[in-house]
Amino acid sequence: MFRIKNLKSNILPLLSWLSLLTRLGLGIVFIYAGAVKLSDPKAFARIISQYDLLPSALLPVAAIGLPVLELLAGIGIILDIRGSLSLIFSLLIFFAIVLWYGVLKGLEVDCGCFSAEDLKSQAGLWQAFYRDLIMIGAALLLYISRWFQWKGRIPLLLRANLKIIV
């Protein structure tokens, strides 16, 4: 028979390890994606232009700024720096919206996710969209993990004052 105390003591360490592995996974993906795009910003600017979402004057800014944000977010989430999870979650939502736009418009373009030849077709946009949904799920797992860890650290007196049911 399981006791609540034993269940809590077994789940929180498991959640911590799962959270660490998820942070490392997302961080590595974002660092890699940012570094690849920064290695050839002109190619990335051409990919962005195919979506026809930005004026051409902003393409160089986006082609450098977006990969820098990805790189910083990836480093930040690995080091567990405050705000990095929110940045990664926001970027993933943004990427999913852009990919969905490409799918709805029937674009036959490179998704622009990693390399210049990554998933260059309509099916590729769907694959990238599903991949982003999986990463959004991973980010949500991190949010849930943080909530459980935060909830476990609230002092008993504070719980009584806030009337939190645990």
Residue extents of the structural domains in the chain: 9-162
pLDDT of residue 163: 46
φ/ψ region of 120 (left if φ > 0, alpha if ψ in -120 to 50, else beta) reads beta
Q: Do the beta carbons of residue 86 and residue 72 sit within 8 Å?
A: no
Tell how far CA 111 is from the center of its chain.
Answer: 16
Indicate if the pLDDT at residue 46 is higher than 60.
yes
Give 4 or 54, the one with higher predicted confidence: 54
How confident is the model over 95-105, as pLDDT tens digits? 999 999 988 98
Tokens of 56: 């051409």
**Each residue's pLDDT tens digit, 6-34:** 545 566 677 778 889 999 999 999 999 99
What beta strand segments (E) does 54-124 contain? Answer: none
pLDDT digit string, tens, across residues 110-151: 777 876 555 455 568 888 999 999 999 999 999 988 877 766
| Position 2 pLDDT exceeds 90 | no
pLDDT: which is higher, 107 or 55 = 55
> Is the confidence at residue 157, as pLDDT, over 70?
no
- Kindly state the average pLDDT of the residues 142-162: 62
pLDDT at 65 over 90: yes
pLDDT in tens, 81-97: 999 999 999 999 999 99
Rounded distance between C-alpha atoms, residue 95 and residue 118, angstroms: 15
Query: What mean pLDDT is predicted for residues 48-64?
Result: 93
pLDDT value at position 123? Answer: 66
Which pLDDT score is estimated for 32? Answer: 95
**Could you tell me the pTM of the whole model?**
0.79
Question: Rounded to whole angstroms, how far apart are CA atoms 85 and 61?
Answer: 23
